[in-house]
């Protein structure tokens, strides 16, 4: 009889969340929604991260790299056998979404679902531990099963300026001017996708903010992912408004699509897939200002999200991701160095942070952002190998493990809340910093460049490392050591604090205009 022999699902092991305690079994009749990610029909013959990769259309992607119809059919048969409902079966996204009761899901994936509460915060979630199992027929087909566990996966990377300390804030337009962003363009014809995992925006705040700057409110759409919604009224409204206002001010002619998903690993990967494969809004650049320590994710989640970001690279979509605000340890106190994911994906344009000193209308100095309370994330991945484009960048091996991994970040920009961005959130005008601001800053720059070039620059990492100077202001002072671990310090050229440096937008545009056409 089919689906009787079971095997372990590779890389699905999940540990108990530190600081959380089990408070009982999940009721058998609780509805559970899972996302199953399937293998590609074929992997690309030329890896995008090696450079020289020609992006493709959505139709070409579906034909060559989507899921096989027979694989989808087999997963659908598995669902039927275990009394699970198929909500979606999508070949291009390689995704099958199922719903069922907790009891049937536990039986289908060989696990036990428990209710947990996080000590101190009272946050409740549905969780699991150990390795999942699947029928042997699916062993070579299924790459990840996500959604059984609903613990929070990511946090936003913003920092609010302490109002008791003196500060000099700037509008996003001023910061774009400091970085010599291209003029005569406003992102017309581009769509910037922004991913959010909590909070929301108020239309009245946006109208007040943009009217004050004497520019129109951008064309804005809210997109639901896994039933996520625009829900203003929480502290993370700061993240949502910061992202919209930075991107929407600098690239004011762009359309902006905000994808709201649940703060889970399932919600995260589904939001990326929905944005990347959105043929209605067609984002040419995506901004993500959320993340978590690389080793806080399961290996299947790391691989699934990295695969979704590779989809973006193959489709010619730039994805700018903040590198974190908690220094070289990424906020951990275990004595280990950590980088933030998904910034550590080789398919992310990882964005680090600097602190500016401005004289008149120009930058007089720029150093690594590290003000004691917050600092740019950066370092060396312990999961992703060194990508081809960083071979000559001088990325060190990870000091504690010796692993020669992906270096983070790639680029940088103003992130110091004391030289922060003037934004409006929930009826208040405030100053915000953090690498959360740098991702939409770079996304807006890419939208301007795309308009100027008349095409999408897409997966830009290999080109950036080939161009390097003079398209960047090299940041050579400061460090992001926030845990007395001694790492990392800025150096000439690429470094694990600010990457290649902050942008000279006009020089970057000129260099890309001189690059060979696709």
Active site residue 162: no
Q: How many CB atoms lie within 10 A of CB 265?
A: 28
Catalytic residue, candidates 12, 436, 483, 487: 436
- 226/35 Cα distance (integer angstroms): 10
- 80/13 Cα distance (integer angstroms): 25
Give me the DSSP letters along 182-233: -SS---TT-EEEEEESS----HHHHHHHHHHTTSPPPEEEEEESTT-----S
Axis-axis angle for helices 203-212, 237-250 (nearest 10): 40
- 402/383 Cα distance (integer angstroms): 12
Contact call for residues 114 and 128 (beta carbons, < 8 A): yes
- 340/323 Cα distance (integer angstroms): 6
Cis peptide before 498 (omega within 30 of 0): no
- 46/481 Cα distance (integer angstroms): 37
SS3 label, residue 353: strand
Of 289, 180, 181, 274, nearest to 226 (Cα)? Answer: 274
Of 174, 187, 177, nearest to 505 (Cα)? Answer: 177
Contact call for residues 448 and 505 (beta carbons, < 8 A): yes
Gyration radius of the chain's alpha carbons? 22
- 121/48 Cα distance (integer angstroms): 42
Of 256, 189, 65, 205, nearest to 452 (Cα)? Answer: 189
**Which tokens is 485 given?**
């671990």
Catalytic residue, candidates 143, 205, 237, 239: 239
Catalytic residue, candidates 71, 226, 243, 325: 243
Active site residue 243: yes
Contact call for residues 473 and 363 (beta carbons, < 8 A): yes
Instruction: Write the DSSP symbol of residue 136.
Output: G
Q: How many CB atoms lie within 10 A of CB 482?
A: 21
List C-alpha distances in Å: 400 to 166, 231, 381, 396: 38, 42, 11, 11
Contact call for residues 433 and 419 (beta carbons, < 8 A): yes
Q: Which residues are catalytic?
A: 239, 243, 436
């Amino acid at each position: 009889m089919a689906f009787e022999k079971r095997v372990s699902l590779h890389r699905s092991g999940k540990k108990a969340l530190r600081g959380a305690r089990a408070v009982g079994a999940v009721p058998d009749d609780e509805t559970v929604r899972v996302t199953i990610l399937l293998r590609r029909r074929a992997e690309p013959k030329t890896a995008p991260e090696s450079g020289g990769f020609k992006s493709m259309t959505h139709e070409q992607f579906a034909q060559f790299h989507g899921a096989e119809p027979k694989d989808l059919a087999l997963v659908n048969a598995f669902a039927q056998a275990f009394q699970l409902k198929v909500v979606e079966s999508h070949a291009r996204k390689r995704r099958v979404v199922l719903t069922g009761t907790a009891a049937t899901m536990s039986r289908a994936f060989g696990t036990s679902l428990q209710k947990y509460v996080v000590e101190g915060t009272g946050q409740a979630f549905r969780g699991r531990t150990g390795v999942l199992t699947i029928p042997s027929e699916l062993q070579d087909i299924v790459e990840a099963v996500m959604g059984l566990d609903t613990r929070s996966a990511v946090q936003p990377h913003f920092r609010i300026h302490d109002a008791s300390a003196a500060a000099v804030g700037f509008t996003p337009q001023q910061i774009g001017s400091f970085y010599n962003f291209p003029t005569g363009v406003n992102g017309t014809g581009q769509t910037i996708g922004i991913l959010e995992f909590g909070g929301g925006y108020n239309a009245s705040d946006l109208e007040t903010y943009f009217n004050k700057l004497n520019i129109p409110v951008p064309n804005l759409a809210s997109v639901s992912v896994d039933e996520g919604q625009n829900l203003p009224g929480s502290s993370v409204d700061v993240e949502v408004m910061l992202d919209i206002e930075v991107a929407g001010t600098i690239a004011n002619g762009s359309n902006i699509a905000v994808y709201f998903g649940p703060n889970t690993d399932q919600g995260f990967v589904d939001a990326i897939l929905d944005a990347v494969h959105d043929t209605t809004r067609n984002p040419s650049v995506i901004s993500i200002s959320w993340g978590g320590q690389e080793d806080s994710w399961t290996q299947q989640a790391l691989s699934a999200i990295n695969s979704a970001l590779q989809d973006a690279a193959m489709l010619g979509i730039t994805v700018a991701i903040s590198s974190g605000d908690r220094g070289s340890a990424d906020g951990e106190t275990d004595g280990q160095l950590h980088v933030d994911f998904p910034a550590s994906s080789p398919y992310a344009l990882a964005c680090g942070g600097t602190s500016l000193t401005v004289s008149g209308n120009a930058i007089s100095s720029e150093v690594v952002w590290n003000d004691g309370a917050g600092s740019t994330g950066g370092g060396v991945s312990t999961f992703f190998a060194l990508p081809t484009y960083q071979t000559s960048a001088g990325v060190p091996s990870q000091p504690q493990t010796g692993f020669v991994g992906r270096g983070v970040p790639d680029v940088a920009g103003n992130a110091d809340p004391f030289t922060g961005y003037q934004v409006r959130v929930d009826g208040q005008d405030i100053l915000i910093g953090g690498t959360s601001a740098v991702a939409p800053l770079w996304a807006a720059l890419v939208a301007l460049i795309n308009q100027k070039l008349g095409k999408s620059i897409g997966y830009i990492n290999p080109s950036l490392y080939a161009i390097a100077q003079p398209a960047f202001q090299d940041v050579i002072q400061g460090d992001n050591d926030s845990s007395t671990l001694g790492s990392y310090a800025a150096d000439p050229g690429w470094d694990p604090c600010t990457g290649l440096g902050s942008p000279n937008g006009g020089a970057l545009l000129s260099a890309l205009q001189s690059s060979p056409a696709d």
